[in-house]
């Protein structure tokens, strides 16, 4: 997809294939509209159609006319000899005039069509011909959002690889056959050359990404023995708001989809001993492009390595249950399985009393909270600390006065439950991870 320019007015196209309900299509188009708004695109209309499958034409002739009315196009894709194309064009002009006479001209025309599906290059080209404007699909919109929001070098590399993989097969969508260089067998066509450059660029980016990932793995190894909790969930569910509330960090919080693409790791605040690290991860969405899921595996590794998962859901969103299911499916795909987890039904301040009672009855083990309410932040802090309390070992330790340097390590690495100064040294009752228990015992041996 070419870089979007402002201002853009879009028409959304939804295809209801067998197995997709009206509610599911409405939910998907609502989400697509939010994706468009995240890019600053204003949605001015929708075209929906039931079809057995998404074929070469994407829409039937009648719906193509409906779309063309909103974009100023012809509604026709003419193929074949020139005489036949002229005949079809003339018929199309008459059909479009009749359609406008019956339905009237719209107040404003769209200059972009977004299809709620993943289209082939040919489908994009033909629908663009019929509508007379640029056409993109759901994957193109998501890739473009990721491209704009990536801030760290690792995220930019991951997104650029996914973007190039998306663009490469679609480079021919807007044009006809490429001309070969002069002379028989003289070399590659311009299209083939461009695609080879993209493959070379993807390989170059991949090598650079591996270097960055190896450095990240070294940093992760240093945190291996630290207690970690990961915030996971659907995009815009409120994970970054909770990250800021639980760690007092200046994490960006925006009412946009995919505002967070880079994993952020901060210490839980108020601090506890042993220290607990909190990770904010990239959010999920329906039909997240496979290449983006694959490229963010290293980022999502934070969730895989965490001892506790906080599933953050927007309780005010009617579709949150489907979002929860999708989040679990994606986590399962990357090897993160539900073990020790807490369900956090966020934005409960946006729900009425009846909705709150219904959620409490349906999810008795969940926390009904809002990141905006200090008492809820305190409650989630207590829950996190309590969950990790169950993972700590009890350790009795005696530190001889001759080894007072170990005392500082005890207070740094363990939580002191009881401390007594006896003749043979300092007697401790500790709560500590098994790794740190072994480390402290070795210091005294």
Q: Give dist(CA 1, CA 166) in Å, integer.
A: 8
> How many angstroms separate the Cα of 197 from the Cα of each of 133, 164, 191, 205, 220?
28, 10, 10, 12, 34
Domain residue ranges of the chain, discontinuous segments joined by +: 8-144, 153-164+189-222, 223-389, 393-444
Considering only CA atoms, which of 285, 281, 289, 363 is closest in space to residue 325? Answer: 285
Same topology, domains 8-144 and 223-389? Answer is yes
CATH of 393-444, one of 1.10.260, 3.30.70, 3.40.462, 3.40.1130: 3.30.70
pLDDT digits (tens, 9 = 90+) for 196-240: 899 999 999 989 888 887 776 666 555 556 788 999 988 889 998
Confidence of residue 183 (pLDDT cuts 50, 70, 90): very low
* First vs last C-alpha separation in the chain: 64
Average pLDDT, the chain: 83
Alpha helices in 223-338 (DSSP H): 239-247, 290-295, 297-305, 320-333
Q: Show Cβ contacts of residue 166 under 8 Å, excluding neighbours closer than 6 positions.
A: 1, 139, 140, 143, 289, 291
pTM of the full structure: 0.75
Percent of the chain residues topping a pLDDT of 70: 83
What mean pLDDT comes out for the span 24-42?
91
Confidence of residue 283 (pLDDT cuts 50, 70, 90): confident
The CATH class of the 8-144 domain is: alpha beta
pLDDT digits (tens, 9 = 90+) for 379-427: 999 999 999 988 889 999 999 999 988 999 999 889 999 999 999 999 9
User: Which residue in this structure is represented by tokens 């450059």?
Assistant: 197
- Looking at CATH, the fold of the domain delimited by 223-389 is given as Rossmann fold (3.40.50)
pLDDT digits (tens, 9 = 90+) for 41-61: 999 999 999 999 988 888 988
At how many degrees (to 10) do helices 82-103 and 61-71 cross? 70
């Amino acid at each position: 997809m070419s870089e979007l320019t402002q201002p853009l007015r879009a028409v959304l196209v939804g295809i209801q294939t067998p197995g997709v309900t009206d509610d599911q299509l409405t939910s998907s188009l609502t989400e697509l509209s939010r994706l468009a708004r995240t890019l600053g695109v204003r949605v001015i209309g929708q075209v929906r159609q039931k079809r057995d499958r998404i074929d070469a034409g994407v829409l039937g002739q009648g719906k193509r006319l409906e779309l063309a009315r909103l974009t100023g196009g012809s509604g026709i894709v003419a193929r074949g000899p020139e005489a036949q194309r002229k005949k079809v064009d003339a018929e199309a002009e008459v059909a479009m005039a009749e359609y406008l006479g019956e339905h009237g001209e719209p107040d404003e025309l769209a200059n972009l069509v977004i299809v709620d599906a993943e289209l082939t290059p040919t489908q994009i080209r033909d629908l663009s011909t019929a509508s007379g404007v640029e056409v993109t699909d759901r994957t193109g919109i998501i890739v473009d959002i990721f491209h704009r929001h990536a801030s760290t070098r690792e995220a930019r590399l991951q997104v650029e690889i996914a973007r190039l993989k998306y663009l490469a097969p679609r480079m021919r969508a807007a044009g006809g056959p490429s001309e070969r260089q002069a002379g028989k067998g003289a070399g590659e066509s311009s299209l083939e050359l461009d695609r080879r450059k993209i493959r070379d660029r993807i390989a170059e980016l991949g090598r650079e990404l591996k270097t960055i990932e190896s450095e990240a793995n070294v940093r992760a190894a240093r945190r291996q023995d630290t207690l970690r909790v990961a915030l996971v969930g659907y995009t815009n569910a409120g994970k970054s708001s909770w990250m800021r509330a639980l760690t007092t960090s200046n994490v960006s919080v925006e009412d946009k989809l995919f505002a967070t693409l880079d994993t952020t790791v901060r210490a839980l605040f108020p601090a506890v001993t042993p220290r607990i690290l909190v990770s904010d991860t990239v959010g999920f969405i329906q039909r997240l492009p496979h290449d983006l899921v694959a490229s963010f595996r290293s980022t999502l590794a934070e969730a895989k390595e965490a001892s506790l998962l906080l599933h953050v859901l927007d309780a005010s969103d009617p579709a949150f249950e489907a979002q929860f299911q999708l989040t679990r499916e994606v986590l399962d795909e990357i090897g993160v399985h539900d073990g020790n987890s807490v369900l956090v039904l966020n934005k409960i301040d946006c729900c009425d009393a009846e909705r709150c009672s219904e959620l409490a009855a349906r999810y008795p083990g969940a926390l009904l909270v809002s990141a905006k309410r200090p008492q809820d932040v305190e409650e989630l802090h207590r829950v996190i600390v309590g969950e990790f309390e169950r993972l700590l070992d009890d350790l009795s330790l005696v530190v001889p006065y001759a080894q007072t340097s170990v005392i500082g390590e005890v207070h740094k690495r363990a939580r002191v439950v009881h401390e007594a100064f006896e003749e043979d040294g300092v007697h401790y009752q500790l709560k500590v991870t098994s790794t740190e228990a072994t480390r402290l015992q070795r210091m005294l041996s």
